[in-house]
Chains A and B, each alone.
Chain A
Amino acid sequence: MIPKRSLFTLAKVLRGIPILGTLEGTPAARAGLRYGDILISVNGVRTTNVAEYVEAKAARTDGMDIVVFRAGEEQARELVYDELVDTDPQKILDELISLRIGNLDEGSDPTGQA
């Protein structure tokens, strides 16, 4: 496995984004991506940083066509997103001590803390 420092070095040279891991059961894992791959492009657009990655992702809403660099060559993959699954809101709320929504009204509690 490529050491982390070397991965960053390689990503710099390739002007890509190092993939530090994939989460189990997600589209990235299903597409065979793994730690050490370097993301070169998304939906046909070069992605040298997170801002470009975010912009390139917006071209498709159901998934992404990507090119990654692995073991000396570029490989094209397609990721298909999962549908947002139904969940029990109460279960989530139980987990959360507080939730902040953007653009707080003035006068409301700015911290959400008791």
Chain B
Amino acid sequence: MAATDDSRRILLVDDEESLAWSLASRLAKVRSKHSVITANDGASALEIMGRSPIDLLIADIRMPGMSGIDLVLTARKARPDLPVIVMTAFTSADVNRLSPGPFTGFLEKPFEFERLLELVDAAFKPAKVGFSGAISVQTLPDVVQLYVLSTATGVLSIKHHSGQGEIWFDQGRIQHAVKGELVGDEAFYEIMMWSGGEFSMRGGVQTAESTVASNWQELLMESCRRIDERARNESRPSGTGWTQAPPAPEEWEPDPFADFDLRAAQNTAPSSLDVRHNESLEVTMNIKDSLAKLNQIDGFVGAALVDSESGMLLGQEGGGALNLEVAAAGNTEVVKSKRKTMNNLGIKENIEDILISLTKQYHLIRPLRGRPALFFYVALDRSRANLAMARIALADVEKDLMV
């Protein structure tokens, strides 16, 4: 679907030369009236734009030297309404809620060529479908993550009906946060808790203030935990949702098999086992409930908690066609081998997680902190997964279980 009759100049920037060339040649073929130029880094892209104006910029976010975000910000200084499409491996569908303003399309890698084509056509439509900074709370950590991972420098201003906040980035590091009287980590968390608002990013500006102590993973993880906690508190009265505490024993549905076992358990268990001890009953449900939380991750396929030393499968959720037990066994070997290799190499660090990227799935392995023999294993559908958020959710589940 051609957007207009006019010819347009499209600049496609990706440091992977073969990818840039292949996308550009396909684009030029199916939209022959447009001219497509390629560049392999931000500096050459700016040079091309300086020589002759372009109508659409398509850029990869992660590039050596100038990042795609910096490139977009710089290009828009000269031409604020320049439509852009950014290609990234970590954005989520939530980012597409941003509206309205200069056209900004997001393409999650890997993508279908048709999706790029749709965005190109949309960028040239007279009534532009635009994006700016109207967001809901779920997207704010995504937005922060976007700037962190693109090693941005600048200030992100967030407006909320209760006030205004600023988060300063220095080459992707979250350096300073301010919200009213609050500064540093606490200001950051307060801002992340806002349930909607507007944001704008001013690139390139720097501050001498350095108030944020935690790294970005810790900040986002803690933010997600606080958001979760609030959601849990808010959902309690409704009596539904996965954040609910497990039902009291008297509310359980009768199950003949369970009755049989329960009776046997009661008859033979030592007297120290108090069957009416509700608090500890909830604790035991932790593994199941915590793993069930992973169900909320985009593209979730299945998850397991495995003790690779003993070989016990202590938790399991989902799985579908994937045989989690077999997969867990295989990953036990991976974790064991990795630990052995690190011992051999004299590496003292902890393995935070291991990512295995298959054509259609991501497999994420996360050993428990301090007890690397125990690990979580999560399988995600690669076409739908938001890997960064999955890592944060997994860390959150670990925190949940180890409290």
Which A residues fall within an 8 A CB radius of B? 2-3, 5-6, 8-29, 33, 39, 48-51, 53-54, 57-58, 64, 69, 71-74, 79, 81, 84-87, 89, 91-92, 95-104, 106-107, 110-114
Please give me the residue from chain B that is nearest to A99 by CB atom: B354
What residues of A have a CB within 8 angstroms of the CB of B309 in the complex? 27, 57, 81
Cβ-based interface call for B22 (8 A): no
Check if B264 sits within 8 Å of A12, measured CB to CB.
Answer: no
Please give me the residue from chain A that is nearest to B312 by CB atom: A28
Check if A71 sits within 8 Å of B264, measured CB to CB.
Answer: yes
Check if A69 sits within 8 Å of B357, measured CB to CB.
Answer: no
Q: A86–B344 Cα gap in the complex (Å)?
A: 9
A10 to chain B, nearest CB (A): 5
What is the total number of residues of chain B having a CB less than 8 Å from a CB of chain A? Answer: 83
Check if A51 sits within 8 Å of B401, measured CB to CB.
Answer: yes
Please give me the residue from chain B that is nearest to A15 by CB atom: B280
Q: A111–B171 Cα gap in the complex (Å)?
A: 15
Question: Are A50 and B401 also in contact (CB < 8 A) when A6-B258, A24-B329 are?
Answer: yes
Check if A13 sits within 8 Å of B340, measured CB to CB.
Answer: no
What residues of B have a CB within 8 angstroms of the CB of A21 in the complex? 312-313, 316, 325
Which B residues fall within an 8 A CB radius of A? 62, 89-90, 148-149, 171-173, 215-217, 246, 249, 252, 255, 257-258, 261-262, 264-270, 273, 275, 277, 280-281, 283-288, 305-316, 325, 328-329, 332, 334, 336-341, 343-345, 347, 349-357, 368-371, 374, 387-388, 401-403
Q: A4–B353 Cα gap in the complex (Å)?
A: 29
Check if B283 sits within 8 Å of A110, measured CB to CB.
Answer: no
Q: A17–B257 Cα gap in the complex (Å)?
A: 19
Please give me the residue from chain B that is nearest to A84 by CB atom: B340
What residues of A have a CB within 8 angstroms of the CB of B344 in the complex? 89
Q: A35–B262 Cα gap in the complex (Å)?
A: 17
Please give me the residue from chain B that is nearest to A36 by CB atom: B261
The 3 closest A-B pairs by CB, nearest first: A26-B311, A72-B264, A102-B350
What residues of B have a CB within 8 angstroms of the CB of A51 in the complex? 401-403
Question: Are A110 and B216 also in contact (CB < 8 A) when A13-B265, A21-B313, A99-B351 are?
Answer: yes
Please give me the residue from chain A that is nearest to B15 by CB atom: A114
Question: Are A49 and B284 also in contact (CB < 8 A) when A9-B258, A69-B269, A97-B356 are?
Answer: yes
Check if B368 sits within 8 Å of A54, measured CB to CB.
Answer: yes
What residues of A have a CB within 8 angstroms of the CB of B286 in the complex? 49-50
Please give me the residue from chain A that is nearest to B313 by CB atom: A21
Contacts A/B (CB < 8 Å), 25 sampled: A2-B261, A5-B258, A6-B261, A11-B284, A13-B262, A14-B273, A15-B273, A15-B280, A17-B284, A17-B314, A24-B329, A28-B307, A28-B311, A28-B312, A49-B284, A72-B268, A73-B268, A84-B339, A87-B337, A89-B344, A96-B338, A98-B355, A100-B351, A113-B387, A114-B62
A70 to chain B, nearest CB (A): 10
What residues of B have a CB within 8 angstroms of the CB of A114 in the complex? 62
Question: Are A15 and B339 also in contact (CB < 8 A) when A97-B355, A113-B89 are?
Answer: no
